[in-house]
Amino acid sequence: MTQTIAAQATTTATFKSLKCKECGAEYEPKATHVCEFCFGPLEVAYDYDALRRTVTRETIQAGPNSIWRYRPFLPVATNNPIDVGTGMTPLVRANRLARRLGLKKLYIKNDAVNMPTLSFKDRVVSVALTRARELGFSTVSCASTGNLANSTAAIAAHAGLDCCVFIPADLEAGKVLGTLIYGPTVMAVQGNYDQVNRLCCEVANTHGWGFVNINLRPYYSEGSKTLGYEVIEQLGWELPDRIVAPLASGSLFTKIYKGFREFIEVGLVEEKHVRFSGAQAEGCSPIAQAFREERDFIKPVKPSTIAKSIAIGNPADGVYALEIARKTGGNIESVNDAEIVEGIKLLAETEGIFTETAGGTTVAVLKKLVEAGKIDPEETTVVYITGNGLKTQEAVQGYIGEPLTIEPKLESFERALERAQTLDRLEWQQVLV
Ligand SMILES: *Cc1c(COP(=O)(O)O)cnc(C)c1O
């Protein structure tokens, strides 16, 4: 299943090794993700002295308008990465949402419009598949809660890699269709994500495929750092006071943190204390529960929530996410499915951004934290919206009203308009009462 790598014209790797997060043992940067000594997770280690000498704000700004402007901070050696325009999504000043919640300076980092498949997963997959190609894999794969399958299938198609993805059989129709269209083999597993993941660990061992979030996980997860870098750059090379982001495995959350620390470390941004707040759905909130109960270990749960994209019952990076929330003075909070639907509607009505259930979770948690007085209105807060609402339409079906059906006649329109305005007034009266 492996093939020899085509010789790259120039390679300038700035990463050195894979390093165990627990015991510090170092490994050659191959397709491996677990420490042989202590079973801790492996993470990419860089030569920060070299980065401090060679990377400036100007060299970054002279790069492509995609995540690859940060290539020296990503674990690939090639100067010719798979670039399908991933990253550099808008950072939107969200004044209407801010006013509604009582905040002063709120921003939305909008990965609902990321390329090519409208979620933040395009970042991690662009990096993982570039590295997979470098390591000689010809077949790539993943265990997915939906968005990852979309991304892996699309970017593999672009790169001409064979692709086989594994999803839980009960995913939203948009996520399934949005994978099949790219022509991969799709395995719909009759079980939840954690069972899909277990199966994939076995397949990774027996088939020699590149699983982006298993044996390529150290490379994959580094892609999320770009969500940290971009926010710094888009804020005019400054850090925010607080971020709010969703948690599934916890990887994204910990890598935004790593991204912030790295830019401080190499002198690209001035040090600042950033609080990290995490969002989970109540029906799958093992990290929020551990935070609430002041535990430093995660008790796995069986997911039951409409927020399927973040429904991981046994989160691989849960303890690291907990640690970051605690040491930064942040928090990890959960909201129920009704609040998630309200969160989706609130963001759409105030900012014109239609997010999926994960984004609804994040906005609802933001609201909950503000109402509980846990976010200071003066803070510059960045909320990460990680996926697109068109993929999870089932979640809001029945909660958003219906179009007014009319005849193609002016009088029919006028009658309908009057009815609509009366209804509007009634709604307002109910609110005022
Ligand atoms: C996968 C996913 C996440 C979280 O991913 P982790 O890195 O596993 O925590 C958040 N939002 C969306 C939309 C996702 O698809």
The 10s digit of each residue's pLDDT in 385-414 is: 999 999 999 999 999 999 999 999 999 999
CA–CA separation, 390 and 388 (whole Å): 6
Name the pairing type of β-strands 242-246 and 380-385.
parallel
- Residue closest by Cα to atom 8 of ligand 1: 249
What's the per-residue H, E or C state across 369-395?
HHHCCCCCCCCEEEEEECEEHHHHHHH
Q: Where are the alpha helices (DSSP H) in 266-314?
A: 286-292
pLDDT of residue 7: 39
CA–CA separation, 412 and 416 (whole Å): 6
Residue 4 above 50 pLDDT? no
End-to-end CA distance of the chain: 68
CA 39 from centroid of its chain's CA atoms: 25
Pocket of ligand 1 (CB under 6 A): 119, 121, 145, 147, 246-253, 309-310, 356, 358, 386-387
Q: Which residues contact 66 (CB under 8 A, 6 or more apart)?
A: 83, 85, 86, 87, 88
**In this structure, what token pair is assigned to residue 132?**
């997979």
Q: Are 244 and 382 in contact (CB under 8 A)?
A: yes
How sure is the predictor about 123, in pLDDT bands with cuts at 50, 70 and 90?
Answer: very high
What φ, ψ does residue 323 adopt, rounded to 5°?
-60, -45
Each residue of 337-384: pLDDT tens digit?
Answer: 999 999 999 999 999 999 999 999 999 999 999 999 999 999 999 999
Each residue of 54-100: pLDDT tens digit?
Answer: 999 999 999 999 999 999 999 999 999 999 999 999 999 999 999 99
Q: For residue 271, count other CB atoms closer than 10 A to its CB.
A: 12
How sure is the predictor about 430, in pLDDT bands with cuts at 50, 70 and 90?
Answer: low
Residue 10 above 90 pLDDT? no
Q: To test the ligand 1 pocket, which listed residue (121, 312, 314) has its Cβ within 8 A of the most ligand atoms?
A: 121
| Residue 109 alpha carbon to ligand 1 centre in Å | 14
How sure is the predictor about 5, in pLDDT bands with cuts at 50, 70 and 90?
Answer: very low
Residue 314, classed as helix, strand or coil, is coil
CA–CA separation, 123 and 128 (whole Å): 9
Residue 11 above 80 pLDDT? no
Question: Is 183 buried (19+), middle (13-18) or exposed (0-12) by CB count in 10 A?
Answer: exposed
Task: Return the amino acid letter for 350.
Answer: T
Whose tokens are 């849960």? That residue is 318
**Total residue count of the chain as it appears in this document:** 433
Whose tokens are 């790539």? That residue is 140
pLDDT of residue 432: 58
How sure is the predictor about 293, in pLDDT bands with cuts at 50, 70 and 90?
Answer: very high
Residue 1 above 60 pLDDT? no
Indicate the DSSP class of residue 326. H
- What is the third-level CATH fold of 49-79+120-220? Rossmann fold (3.40.50)
pLDDT of residue 424: 79
Q: Are 37 and 69 in contact (CB under 8 A)?
A: no
| Residue 317 alpha carbon to ligand 1 centre in Å | 12
Q: What angle do CA 401, 406, 407 make, to 5 degrees?
A: 165
Burial 226-255 (b: 16+ CB within 10 A, else e): bbbbbbbbbeeeebbbbbbbbbbbbbbbbb
Whose tokens are 């339409």? That residue is 393
| Residue 246 alpha carbon to ligand 1 centre in Å | 7
Which whole number is the average pLDDT over 323-350?
A: 98
Q: To test the ligand 1 pocket, which listed residue (386, 388, 392) has its Cβ within 8 A of the most ligand atoms?
A: 386
Each residue of 21-63: pLDDT tens digit?
Answer: 999 999 999 999 999 999 999 999 999 999 999 999 999 999 9
**In this structure, what token pair is assigned to residue 203?**
């397949």
* Domain ranges (residues) in the chain: 49-79+120-220, 91-117+222-396
| Residue 248 alpha carbon to ligand 1 centre in Å | 5
How sure is the predictor about 428, in pLDDT bands with cuts at 50, 70 and 90?
Answer: low
Residue 94, classed as helix, strand or coil, is coil
Each residue of 161-192: pLDDT tens digit?
Answer: 999 999 999 999 999 999 999 999 999 999 99
Mean pLDDT across the chain, nearest whole number?
Answer: 95
**Do the domains 49-79+120-220 and 91-117+222-396 sit in the same CATH topology, yes or no?**
yes
CA 109 from centroid of its chain's CA atoms: 11
CA 254 from centroid of its chain's CA atoms: 11
Q: Are 313 and 301 in contact (CB under 8 A)?
A: yes
Which whole number is the average pLDDT over 253-270?
A: 98
- What is the third-level CATH fold of 91-117+222-396? Rossmann fold (3.40.50)
Residue 9 above 90 pLDDT? no
**In this structure, what token pair is assigned to residue 161?**
């890699």
What φ, ψ does residue 103 adopt, rounded to 5°?
-105, 160
Indicate the DSSP class of residue 34. B
Q: Where are the beta strands (DSSP E) in 229-352?
A: 242-246, 275-281, 331-335
Sign of the alpha-carbon torsion through 302, 307, 308, 314: negative
